[in-house]
Amino acid sequence: MSYSIAKCDSGITLLGLTNFDAAQIFDCGQCFRFNAVSDGTSDIAGIARGRYLRVHTDGQSVSLVGACEDDFHSLWETFLSLDTDYAAVDDEITSAFDTILGREDEVIRRAIKRGSGIRILRQQPWEALISFIISQNNNIPRIKKIISALCEAYGEPIDTPDGVMHTFPTPDAIAGAGVDGIFALKTGFRAKYIIDAANRVLCGECDLDALAKPSVSAEDSAAQLMKINGVGPKVAACVNLFGLSKISAFPVDVWIKRVLARHYPEGLDYTRIGRYAGIAQQYLFYNERWE
């Protein structure tokens, strides 16, 4: 661990933490339940794994408001992927791109530099599954709005310093709402897919905990996920990357198709990037949104 932990009045502070930018992490299309706090600060707050967290950045320190050292080690260190050396990851990604292309790739170097604070969150598989079903043919503000409505309607309320927030609904709660109840939240054609996912999880046909095991490959996991109605290769890859911690998964959406056409017209065999392909994808995605 290349940073130190200190207690503060509101939680804990991480000192010397590098490759961490809360704004980039929570605004790169991987998570939809954290938002900027409207109190004049640059803090970001939300609910993850049924718990409230507020992230405050001040110079070289990062404070996790509402956390203590015990739950940091048991929960937040893993969720925020702070146990991963992203400097080493970046070096490996750069080397992989150079090898694939047979030259120094300035595109990935620029993307890594711009997104140097991104870390892949380790979200709950169930939440990731439903979130990325909702993400189909959608934009980030609308995805957030739908998910917020879903949580308010069927999640459990939590009192936080930033007001009442809600847990992500359980498969039982969503299945009990029925297609009409989910459709009423403006999910559109996705309502029947959300209900199908809930039913398959409840009956054990889709065992997300089993799919999360490291022994299950991203390919095998994707094949199982795509048995759910409405889950295609892109959604399955997103669930693999953001919910099942299979960071070799490389989701291809309209943004990545644009990256490939614009910057790699001669072709890029992203299957050769290796174990950190998903992190490379996030750098490219984030960079394309800002260029």
- Residue 131 in any domain: the answer is yes
Query: What's the structural domain count of the chain?
Result: 3
Domain of 20, CATH number, reads: 3.30.310.260
Q: Are 187 and 277 in a shared domain?
A: no
Domain of 163, CATH number, reads: 1.10.340.30
Q: Active-site positions?
A: 234
Length of the chain: 291
- Residue 119 in any domain: the answer is no
Containing structural domain, residue 39: 4-79
Burial track 212-244 (b if 16+ CB lie within 10 A, e otherwise): beeebebeebbebbeebebbeebbbbbbbbbbb
Q: Are 236 and 255 in a shared domain?
A: no
The span from the CA of 253 to the CA of 234, in Å, is 7
Q: Are 74 and 91 in a shared domain?
A: no
Q: Are 154 and 224 in a shared domain?
A: yes
pLDDT at 1: 58
Q: Are 140 and 238 in a shared domain?
A: yes
- Residue 227 in any domain: the answer is yes
User: How far is residue 51 CA from its own chain's centroid?
Assistant: 16
pLDDT at 44: 96
Give yes or no for a contact between 212 and 224, defined as CB atoms under 8 angstroms apart: no
- Residue 275 in any domain: the answer is yes
- Residue 120 in any domain: the answer is no
Provide the pairing of β-strand 51-58 with 44-48: antiparallel
Q: Are 276 and 186 in a shared domain?
A: no
The span from the CA of 244 to the CA of 127, in Å, is 11
Q: For the chain, how long is the longest CA-to-CA vector?
A: 55
Q: Which single residue is written with the structure tokens 């709402």?
A: 177
- Regions in the chain scoring below 50 on pLDDT: none
> What DSSP designation does 103 have?
S
Give yes or no for a contact between 166 and 151, defined as CB atoms under 8 angstroms apart: yes
Burial class (CB in 10 A: 0-12, 13-18, 19+), 6: exposed
